A and B are shown apart, each in its own frame.
Chain A
Amino acid sequence: SQKIEQNSEALNIQEGKTATLTCNYTNYSPAYLQWYRQDPGRGPVFLLLIRENEKEKRKERLKVTFDTTLKQSLFHITASQPADSATYLCALQMDSNYQLIWGAGTKLIIKP
């Protein structure tokens, strides 16, 4: 079965630096890969989606890459701010399937 690995330890980054989070998966490549943000006591909030035929996607300070050879997606936040501190989840989605397979998430802490 498909497994997803995200950094289990919290990632501490100095404000202003680029934060990079990793999402690795096993087995077959998904058709889509999504990234969500989750704050304490709240539900996940969608950030970005990247398709398997896309190498990179950007949205403001966010950038996602997708490498089907390495079976890995990287999520970057440039010019990080303390307000970016949250848990970031990646989710895999197979073609024509509404079911998302979720990673455990990585807690990001941006220090002022």
Chain B
Amino acid sequence: DAGVIQSPRHEVTEMGQEVTLRCKPISGHDYLFWYRQTMMRGLELLIYFNNNVPIDDSGMPEDRFSAKMPNASFSTLKIQPSEPRDSAVYFCASSGGTEVTDTQYFGPGTRLTVL
């Protein structure tokens, strides 16, 4: 398996623009997580899905952030409008089991820079 795939790997945009980050989880995994990592705040869970349904979005910072999972093999995280403070590395992770302790597999991340 290719692992969790994220695109783009790098995104540079200007404040106010819409940004869409994409994630393809590992085939067969039914949990998908979106994280954000910054030097100041470390790794933060934004939202997670189970069987394509959002379960906990309490980590989504503002209404400017939205996430969807239209099918088992694809998810998007959208920021509209983007702001400089959104600059961070965004990770997608997936997990395949039914146990809460099952390993989360992370993608390579998308480094977002908002100017």
Contacts and interface: CB of A to CB of B under 8 A. Distances in A.
Interface of A: 32, 41-46, 49, 89, 91, 93, 95-100, 102-105
Contact of B106 (A45, A93, A97): A45
Interface in B7-56: 31, 33, 42-45, 48, 55-56
A44 B101 contact: no
B26 to A, nearest CB: 12
**Which secondary structure dominates where chain A touches chain B?**
loop
B80 interface: no
Interface residues of B, number: 23
Contacts of B31: 98
Nearest to B50: A98
Given A32-B101, A43-B91, A49-B101, A99 B45 contact: yes
B48 A44 contact: no
Interface of B: 4, 31, 33, 42-45, 48, 55-56, 59, 91, 93, 95, 100-101, 103-109
A106 B39 CA distance: 12
B104 A42 contact: no
Question: Which residue of A42, A43, A46, A95 has the most chain B CB atoms within 10 A of its CB atom?
Answer: A43
Given A43-B91, A43-B93, A98-B55, A89 B43 contact: yes
A53 B41 CA distance: 30
